[in-house]
A and B are shown apart, each in its own frame.
Chain A
Amino acid sequence: MMLFFLLLPPLLMFVASFSRSPWARKLLPVSSFAVLIPVALLFRLPKPYELWGRYLVADDLNTYILLLSSIVGIGVTLALLTLDRHVKISTKALYRFYRFFGLFWVGLSLSILANHMGIYWIGLEMATLSTVYMIKTNRSAAAHKEAWNYMIVGAIAISLILFGIILIYAASKPILGEQAMLFDALLIKAREIPSPFLFEMGFAIAALGMFVKMGFFPMNLWLAHIERASFYPVAALFSGILESGVMAGFFRFSRIAERVNYDHLFFFVFAYTLLTIFIVSFLIFRAKDFMRLFSLSGIEHMALIALFWVSGGSFAALLHFGAHAFLKPALFLSTGVLESTGRYHFAGALRGYAGLRGKLFWFLVGLFMLAIVSIPPSPMFFSELYGFAAMIDDAKSSHHLLAMLGAIALLLALLSVIFYRFVAIYQSMKYEGEAEPKKVYSSEVLALTIFAVGLVALLLPSSTAFLKGIG
Chain B
Amino acid sequence: MVDFLIGLFLATLITALFTSRLYRLLFWYSLNSLTLGLLALVIGARLDDRAMLMTGGVTIALKALAIPYVLKVLSRRFGLSRQTPPGIKTQYAIMLVPAILVFTFYLAEPISHMVQGNANYVAISISSLFLSLLLMIEHRNVAPKIVGFLSMENALFLLGTTATRGMPMLVELGIFFDLLMAIVVINLLLYREEAEL
Contact = CB atoms under 8 A, between A and B. Distances in A.
A and B are partners in one complex rather than unrelated chains = yes
A118 B152 contact: no
Contacts of A55: 170
B189 A148 contact: yes
B152 A122 contact: no
Interface in B182-197: 182, 185-186, 188-189, 192
B191 to A, nearest CB: 9
Given A125-B178, A133-B188, A201 B111 contact: yes
Given A156-B133, A197-B111, 13 more contacts: A118-B167, A122-B177, A125-B174, A130-B185, A133-B188, A136-B189, A148-B142, A151-B185, A159-B153, A163-B129, A169-B167, A170-B115, A194-B114
A156 B174 contact: no
Contact of A170 (B145, B152, B163, B170): B163
A198 interface: yes
B111 to A, nearest CB: 5
A170 B162 CA distance: 10
Interface in A136-191: 136, 144, 147-148, 151-152, 155-156, 159, 162-163, 166-167, 169-171, 173-174, 178, 181
Nearest to B174: A122
B118 interface: no
B159 A122 contact: no
Shortest 4 CB-CB contacts between residues of A and residues of B:
A118-B171, A122-B174, A195-B114, A170-B163
Nearest to B177: A122
Interface string A413-431: 0000000000000000000
23 contacts: A118-B174, A122-B174, A122-B178, A126-B181, A129-B182, A133-B189, A144-B189, A148-B142, A152-B136, A152-B149, A155-B149, A159-B152, A162-B175, A163-B129, A166-B159, A169-B167, A170-B116, A170-B163, A195-B114, A197-B111, A197-B114, A198-B114, A201-B111
B181 A129 contact: yes
B178 A163 contact: no
B164 interface: yes
A271 to B, nearest CB: 20
A132 interface: yes
B168 interface: yes
B178 A129 contact: yes
Interface in A187-236: 194-195, 197-198, 201
B156 interface: yes
B57 interface: no
Contacts of A194: 114
A447 B149 CA distance: 38
Contact of B189 (A116, A132, A162, A170): A132
Contact of B185 (A133, A144, A159, A170): A133
A37 B159 CA distance: 42
Contacts of B165: 173
Contact of B111 (A122, A125, A147, A198): A198
Contacts of B177: 122
Contacts of B189: 132-133, 136, 144, 147-148, 151
Nearest to B161: A166
Contacts of B142: 148
A162 B174 contact: no
A11 B164 CA distance: 35
Nearest to A160: B129
Contacts of B178: 122, 125-126, 129
A166 B164 CA distance: 7
The A interface, classified by DSSP as helix, strand, loop or mixed, is: helix
A151 B183 CA distance: 11
Contacts, number: 96
B109 to A, nearest CB: 11
Contacts of B115: 170, 198
A448 interface: no
Contacts of B185: 129-130, 132-133, 151
Contacts of B164: 166, 169-170, 173
A132 to B, nearest CB: 5
A167 B160 CA distance: 8
A166 B177 CA distance: 18
Nearest to B111: A198
Nearest to A197: B110
Given A156-B133, A181-B171, A163 B182 contact: no
A321 to B, nearest CB: 27
A119 interface: yes
Nearest to B179: A125
Most buried by A among B114, B156, B159, B182: B114
Contacts of B181: 126, 129
B168 A159 contact: no
A136 B152 CA distance: 24
Interface string B92-121: 000000000000000000110011100000
A403 B79 CA distance: 59
Nearest to A171: B114
A203 to B, nearest CB: 13
Interface string B38-63: 00000000000000000000000000
Contacts of A170: 114-116, 163-164
Given A118-B168, A136-B189, A170-B164, A155 B110 contact: no
A195 B167 CA distance: 18
A144 B114 contact: no
Nearest to B163: A170
A118 B172 CA distance: 9
Contact of B171 (A122, A133, A136, A147): A122
A106 to B, nearest CB: 12
A96 to B, nearest CB: 8
A61 B10 CA distance: 43
Interface string A102-143: 000000000000001011011001100110110010000000
A167 B163 contact: yes
Contacts of B192: 136, 144
A167 B142 CA distance: 30
A152 B133 CA distance: 10
